[in-house]
Every structure is written in C-alpha cells, then in structure tokens.
Homo-oligomer: A and B are copies of this chain.
C-alpha cells in the first residue's frame, strides 16, 4: 500500500505537473476565442448542474474547519454559499464576454529599410496561483488566465482542499468537453508544504507566480521564488484634504472611503488634513465617523481642533503604516501639501491615495509626486478596482511596478513579443 502511494506521488511530481502545464500552454496559446468562450460558459453551466456535489465537497472542508477552530470570517470565506457560487458563474460569463487580448497588435511601424515591426500581445505561458482560503479563486483565476491563453497551476490552502479540487475538476471537465487539453488548469493536490517550494524553483517551466493572500504568504513566495512574482500587498490608503478642498465633498469622500466597505484593500486607513481647514473640517467629520462606529486614533494636532468631550486614542508610530481592514482610522493634521505627500511616501503602501482639492495645481502635484498604483483626485479610494475602472474581472490589485500596477485584469495576463516582417533584409 505504501509502495502504491509512493508510486502515485511519483506519478504526479510537481515537475510533472509543470511540464504538463507547459505543454498545455503551447496549445492554449493558439486557441480560437470562440473555443475559449465555450469552455468558460460550459464551466458556468457545470457549476450550476453540480451544485450539490460542490456543496458536499465543500462540507468536507467546513466540518474539519469548524473542529479546528477556524474563525467565523475564515469559515465564511471558505463557504460555497449561493452568493459565492453565483459570483463564480457570473464571473465566468462576464469573462467570456470580455475581449480576447491575445494576438492584438499594440504598436506597429515600418523602418526605412522596409522592415515592419509590430508588438503583438501573446499569452504569458504558465501561471502559478498560490492562494488562501477562498475556493472561488480556483475558478476566478483559472478563467481569467485561460481567457488570456495561459495554463494555470493552482495551489490553494489545505483548509479548502476538497472544494478547490472539485472546482478545478469541473473546469477540466468543461475543457475536455470542448476538446481542450484539461491540463490548462491543474490543482497541485498535495498537502505537502514543500511542494510549493519545489514549484517556486521551476523557472524553466513556469513564467509567473501570483500569490493571493496575506502579507506572510506573499513574503514567503518572494523569498523562495526564482520565478518572477506579481505581488498584491496591503493597501494603506490615504485621503488628503487640501487647504483648497470643498469640505462637504471631502467629508463625503472620506466617509465613503472608510465606511462603505472597511475590510478591503482600497479602503482608507489614514486621513490627513491641511491645518488651515482642520478646524472647519474635522469636528463634524470625526463625529460622523464615530457615529458610524469608527474608532479614531489621532495626534494632539487633531485633538486641538475637536470638541473638548471627544474621546480620541493616541496614534502610535505603528498606526501610520497599519492596514486595519476594519472600522479604525488614523488621523493627522499636516502643515502643507508637501508634508501630506511626505507622510504618504513615508508610511503608505503605494496602493491607492486620494486628494480632495479645488486647486488644479495641487491636484497635479499630488498625482505626480505620490508614487502609488492609483492616485485619485476628488473621488473615494474605493474606486481603485478593476470593475470600477471598466477593466472587467480582476485578478487583484498589483502593488508592483513591473508589468502590472494597480487593478490587474485580462490585459495584464498577456505579454508582448516583437513580430518583424521583411523581404530578405540583412545587416550591413
């Protein structure tokens, strides 16, 4: 029995999986859009048809999860609820409708010697996705990568093992039904943690790694990977209220950025206010935030402009670089636009930052000098999102500078190659 198990493990070594993915990616590279869309739509139908099987597999994860004391939030993310399933099937159908980026010519020109140079969008190749408890990532990520002509290796958290496996298997069934090599999507089905380390060294077979999860997961991947990694780190997002701000607008933007959905990476974590408007702006805004349940952590400069009775905790040095993902907000008063930008550059995570101002000059300066993936003027930080930008489904919000920065959709899951056409040109 041990021998058989060992053989089975050998059968599906991490390298074997990566080699199958590489081979499948060569086929995926040239698949017509119509076939890719057929697979996506067929996956959506299969998920709907097999919802009971999926739930049964999901329960195999949820029960030990409860026994092992997973938090309510984690169990919630692990559950394939009606809403989670609808979001997957909606996502598949939406991705089927999105424009296929493969084969598009980004730029094209002709040289004096007659050579025609073009930059063509082509798939990246093999993408490894390493993610934590949400099983829906299996479908969301596989579908986006597949539409962009890539093969995907998925490695989910062990707590979602059965759910991930069932979802990947449905996608593979849909491929098979459409005559597509199912190895375009493979789940790395082992609970052996060293498998990830092995995967991260296969830079001859895998083109990109995208970790989706908390900071420690991403840091581990960066530390171990020889394959380029696209990172989606925290959002320590700021709203800066300028001296020239429309204060009613600033209050709405700040309130929305903090309260509308505090648990996501594009929610505001720090509010900075120019000292000349702090007295007019902060008392009502802080009161409104507190009434919405927001805990305020601030400096004496903030306290000085508030009503005597307002209870405010001190902001520590650590607060300024903390992503609360909760109804907590750090607040400070700054003497100038420059000081506001300095604060953001020093403590921020270069994810998403907003200025509220009526001065075009100050807006331009903020947009130029704040080195973040998304820099907004007079709008809530919550708009830093693929759907809100009109990019369609997103694989995450990249905090990297190379290749993809900010909301990352289909268009970032391809790369470019130079395609050059001549009629016998040689170099002198």
A interface residue numbers (CB < 8 A to B): 26, 29-30, 103, 109, 111, 115, 117, 120, 122, 124-125, 203, 207-208, 222-223, 226, 228-230, 246, 249, 252-253, 255-257, 260-261, 345, 363, 367-369, 371-380, 382-384, 388-390, 400-403, 405-407, 415-427
Complex Cα distance, B422 from A383, in Å, reads 10
Contact present for B420 and A369 (CB under 8 Å): no
Residues of B within 8 Å of A425, CB to CB, are: 378-380, 383
Query: How close is A55's CB to chain B, nearest CB, in angstroms?
Result: 31
Counted per complex, copies of this chain come to 2
Residues of B within 8 Å of A389, CB to CB, are: 111, 117, 418
Contact of A260 among B30, B260, B369, B427 (CB under 8 A): B427
Contact present for A422 and B379 (CB under 8 Å): yes
Which label, helix, strand, loop or mixed, suits the secondary structure of the A interface?
Answer: mixed
Contact of A405 among B109, B246, B261, B417 (CB under 8 A): B417
Residues of B within 8 Å of A125, CB to CB, are: 371, 401
Known: A226-B223, A260-B427. A377 touches B415 (CB 8 A): no
Residues of B within 8 Å of A228, CB to CB, are: 228-229, 400-402
Known: A111-B390, A260-B427, A345-B26. A401 touches B415 (CB 8 A): yes
Contact present for B376 and A426 (CB under 8 Å): no
Contact present for B373 and A427 (CB under 8 Å): no
Known: A367-B419, A420-B379. A222 touches B226 (CB 8 A): yes
Complex Cα distance, B111 from A256, in Å, reads 19
